[in-house]
Structure 1
Amino acid sequence: MPIKDSIVVSSTLPTLRLDLLRAGDDAESKRLLGACRTQGFFYLDLTSDAILCRQWKDMLGVMKQYFEQPLEVKMQDAYGSDNHGYEPMGTEEGPKPKTRDGYESLKISRREFLKGSTDLSTSVEAHSSFFFDFMRTAHDITLMILERLSTSLDLKGSSRFEAYHADPGPSFSTLGLLRYPKHSDKTPTSVGHNKHTDVGSLTFLLAAQWGLQFLSPETKRWEFLEPRSGHAVINVGDSLRFPSNGELASVVHRVVPLRTTQEEDRYSIAYFLRLNDDVRFTDLKGKTWTAKGWHDFKFDVFKSPSTLDPSKQFLTGMMEENDLLVGSGNNIVVAS
């Protein structure tokens, strides 16, 4: 899709190769660490894995079939859960004043994967093995990335990042399938996804349409991330930033239409790797949380950040407080 010159597109995000990381290439592992320390986001070139690229294409077909169903059918999968089942649009505050979020989602938890079955509707149950195969691949890739980071940081034994994610957990790791419906309303009441940092350790994202922005730690401005065929976008979450004592960057991001309106349906596939529930870490204010406690509180904040998080500490993972972008440690580096 051609874009206007006035739209800021990131030109600094690094691209890493899945095949080199899988092979344990030392130079690529060092580049990985550098990306996670600075931008907190990077592209991952998946083109060496034909099976995964085909899974992405097939997953889009299954998603479209599911989301095209009548709302009353999809609501049969609505359990009011942050990690399991269907969620309609408008359950959270949106990225613009007086708006709600503009996406619907279907989530399948790693708990269901480990159990080998899902309690969702027949249309989901029929594709459960397909979803589980994709989850297995995404989980293995994100764990492998943690292993490369642990080795590059010379972490040992139980202090290695992957040790916090050992099966059977439990954890809130989740596959999220999201659809942002197109609209022509110049002043929509439901739009995009509010700014935030991710709750978990790593997010593995596949999206073929524009919409994802991050608040660049380098340029200190909102920049769109170009969707690239055959490439995932990987980003660091709070539950990797805090255990690394702020060395790895969990960066603020959001989803907004490229232009005033959402001109086409936007589909994204996200695997959220999260710590085991009982893992403890200390945030940058010195408060100790369990992974489950941080997850539960932050998802409450998502629904009503203006009420539960007026200082903007939690929604943005203490990376942005009172409209200030915060660097590692306690250094405030720029007003946003």
Structure 2
Amino acid sequence: MAITEPILVAESLPTIELDLLRADNETENKRLLSVCQNYGFFYLNMTSDPELCQLWEDMLSIMKEYFEQPLDIKMQDARNDDNFGYEPMGTEEGPKPKTRDGYESLKFSRREYLKNSTDLTTSIRTKSTPFFNFINQAHTITLLILSRLSTQLGLTGSSRFETYHADPGPSTSTLGILRYPKHESGISEPTSVGHNQHTDVGTLTFLLAAQWGLQYCSPQTKRWEFIEPRAGHAIINVGDSLRFPSGGELASVVHRVVPLKETQEEDRYSIAYFLRPNDDVTFRDATGKMWSAKEWHDFKFDVFKSPSTLDAKGQFLTGMMLEEERGRWVGVAGEGGVAVAV
């Protein structure tokens, strides 16, 4: 995609090498901890694993075919659930005033993976193997990341992060495949746009996206910056359910999805595995309130649907940050800074 307008791009987002993590390289493990403390987001270079990169391509092919179906066909997979089934556009508030979200999604829960059978009913049911394979791979890699972080922080026994995700759970871990459809020509102010600003509910998010649109509010510059999509690289970010148990040591950073311009000029596809703790895991938020992982998940998803009424101060969508921390995000809600041409 040709980008002709200057945009603010995250130039210093670090890259972690998957092969070095797998080899338990001490230098890379230390870098991983530093990155999660200071950035909350990083690239994961997967090019050492060609099978995983090919799986990305396989899933994209099936996704495109699925989302091109008529809405009434896709609605046969609707389950009115946050963790599995189809969801059309417009179920949540959007990132701009008087807008709704601009994406549709299909989710496969890890519960379905563990029983090796999807609860979907359309033809996607017979094509679920690549998605289940990715759930397995992404789950293994995110647990590896947790293990390396636990060791670097000196955690032992039941206090290690990975123990919060032991099978059989249950948990709300899920795989989401999303399409942000391009806007029709002639629409100057679309009413369905992107994805509202938020921190992620869970522990770690493993994202694959080949098109622009993801922005994070950089802890370094305090400005919204686009994260460049890179071939063979996943984008990993820390969520609330890792930030809270770490006592704020690890950064769950505000992010959103918006078009590069006023309108979405091409279909944007993303694949996200959301690793989340077992439902009964408990932690304290930044105000000291105790939550179970399931309670936090359910409440925050309600907030996603109606933040203007349930979260007028932006407290929950941004991960229950303390007042002085939230002030940093409020001050950078608009665009600004020195533009970087891409």
Shorter chain as denominator, the TM-score bin is over 0.9
User: Is the CA contact 2:58–2:130 (under 8 Å) kept in the aligned structure 1?
Assistant: no
Which residue in 1 is equivalent to 2:255?
A: 253
Separation in structure 2 between the aligned mates of residue 308 and residue 247 of structure 1, nearest angstrom: 27
Give CA-to-partner distance per residue, 1:6-53, whole Å, 9 cap, x none. Answer: 310001100110000011000001110011001100000000000000
Counterpart of 2:229 (choices 227, 230, 255) is: 227
Map 1:161-240 onto structure 2 (within 5 A): 161-183=161-183, 184=185, 185-240=187-242
Q: TM-score, normalised by structure 1?
A: 0.96
2:117 maps to: 117
State the aligned residue count.
330
Which residue does 2:340 correspond to in 1? none
Secondary structure, aligned partner of 1:281:
strand
Residues 162-189 of structure 1: CA deviation (Å, up to 9, x unaligned): 0000000000000000000001321001
2:301 maps to 1:299: yes
> What letter is aligned with 1:77?
D
Give 3-state SS (helix, strand or coil) of 1:55's partner: helix
Q: What's the CA shift for 1:121? A: 1.7
| Preserved CA contact (<8 Å) 1:174 1:272 | yes
CA distance in 1, matches of 2:108, 2:57: 18
Paired position in structure 2 for 1:40 = 40
Choose from 262, 277, 289 the match for 1:287: 289
Separation (CA, whole Å) in 2 of partners of 1:333 and 1:79: 34
Return the match for 2:269 from 250, 267, 270: 267
Q: Which amino acid aligns with 2:288?
A: G
Could you tell me how far 1:335 is from its partner in structure 2? 3.0
Partner of 2:80: 80
Aligned to 2:127: 127
CA contact (8 A) 1:325 1:335 kept: no
Over 2 Å off, 4+ runs = 1-6, 318-321, 324-327, 332-336
Q: 2:100 and 2:262 mapped to 1: Cα distance?
A: 16
Counterpart secondary structure, 1:126: helix
Residue 21 of structure 2 corresponds to residue 54 of structure 1: no
Give secondary structure in 2 for the equivalent of 1:251: coil
> 3-state SS of the aligned residue for 1:125?
helix
Give the whole-Å Cα distance in 2 for the aligned partners of 1:58 and 1:128: 11
Unaligned runs of 5+ in 1: none
The AA in structure 1 aligned to 2:282 is: R
Alpha-carbon separation, structure 2, partners of 1:144 and 1:4: 39
Give the Cα separation in 2 of the matches to 1:247 and 1:240: 9
Contact 1:250–1:319 (CA under 8 A) maintained in structure 2:
no
Q: How far does residue 127 in structure 1 lie from its aligned partner after superposition? A: 1.4
Partner of 2:16: 16
Is contact 2:287–2:322 with CA below 8 Å preserved after alignment?
no
Q: CA distance change for structure 1 residues 211 and 176 in 2, over 3 Å: closer, same or farther?
A: same
SS at match of 1:268: strand
TM-score, length-scaled by structure 2: 0.94
State the match for 1:92 in structure 2: 92
Q: In the alignment, is the contact (CA less than 8 A) between 2:198 and 2:256 conserved in 1?
A: yes
What is the deviation of 1:116? 1.1
Equivalent position SS for 2:178: strand
1:45 alignment partner AA? N
Using the aligned pairs only, state the percent identity.
Answer: 72
Structure 1 residue 335 corresponds to structure 2 residue 331: yes
- Asked whether the equivalents of residues 220 and 334 of structure 1 are also in contact (C-alpha less than 8 Å), the reply is no
- Whether contact under 8 Å (2:204, 2:236) holds in the other structure is yes
Secondary structure of the 2:147 match is helix
Task: Give the CA RMSD over aligned residues.
Answer: 1.4
Shift of 1:82: 0.3
The equivalent position to 1:314 in structure 2, one of 313, 316, 333, is 316
Alpha-carbon distance change, 54 to 333 in structure 1, aligned in 2, over 3 angstroms: closer
User: 2:271 and 2:129 mapped to 1: Cα distance?
Assistant: 16
